[in-house]
Amino acid sequence: VGSSYTAQETIDVNGQVIAPGFIDAHVHIESSLVPPPEFARAVVPRGTTTVIVDPHEIANVLGLDGIRYMFDAAKYNPLSVYVMVPSCVPATNMETSGATLRSYDIEAFRDNKWVLGLAEMMNFPGAVLGDPEVLAKIKAFDGTVLDGHAPGLTGKPLNAYVAAGIQSDHECTTVEEAREKLRLGMTVFIREATNAHNLEPLLPLITPQNARRICWCTDDRQPADLLDLGGIDYLMRRSLELGLDPLLIRDRDRLHAVHDLIARHAGLLPPSPRTGTPRARSRRPGAQRPSAARESATVAAG
């Protein structure tokens, strides 16, 4: 940025605060019961500019066509939608699903520019016990982000899960469980969903020393909650109410940097073709909710 740039539109932010857009580290848009453009209408005005989605719910019904639909439906809207390719369709062999996706089915998505990696490996017993198909999926996405799903997994099985390559978990329910996963190098996503409320019990986990490896996610959020409470913005407000240091919330390099890979695509606050920069007034009680200035309304031309 600098004096040499001429913007197509000038936005007066006098008296406001420029901050990076919120990133939802793990969400199933299908749980909102609306397609991506309508989901964007609900979350972008509240400051969420990027979501990392796992479309395994629609894939359970429509298979590869469902995943392709999510790619197409996410185009040309103000929300940046990055995709983690579903790893467990169906979630368990005991399910009756509309599709079964194997490693060779999903490998083709790896090179899509909107794909960050492999979505939550719900079959953690398979990863721990060396199931060949599970390991084939992990191998197919080697070198990308490998998200986990390991509720209550601790000790040697957790070590085996991490050794298989899994890098994150959003299923922690206690500080002790989350700390063990952090010690093993995992990234912990603190989840506040419609059906799982983990924010309050996990908030004491966050310190200046570990905050870089802790992110926010909504996972599954029903329409009423999105409209009445919000998404990631609700986690921010609630965290302040519960006493989290505002500097930890505002630190763009920690709670906004979901993965190094997302930073490469979306940027944080520095100039970038895909930087989301909401502007907000002071967060005093009763202050106006953030509004989002997206790249669709050019912030800096050039």
For 137-172, write each residue's pLDDT tens digit: 999 999 899 999 999 999 999 999 999 999 999 999
Tokens of 11: 């936005």
Parallel, antiparallel or unpaired: strands 22-27 and 48-53: parallel
For 25-47, write each residue's pLDDT tens digit: 999 999 999 999 999 999 999 99
d(CA 251, CA 253): 6
> Structural domain boundaries of the chain?
17-293
d(CA 98, CA 104): 18
pLDDT of residue 4: 78
pLDDT at 277 over 70: no
**Average of per-residue pLDDT across 277-294:** 48
Q: Residue holding tokens 């406001």?
A: 16
* Cβ within 8 Å of residue 278, ≥6 positions away: 19, 20, 21, 22, 47, 49, 290, 291, 292, 293
Nearest to 274 by CA among 102, 101, 79: 79
d(CA 156, CA 159): 5
Which residue has better confidence, 164 or 267? 164
In CATH, what class is 17-293? Answer: alpha beta
pLDDT at 82 over 70: yes
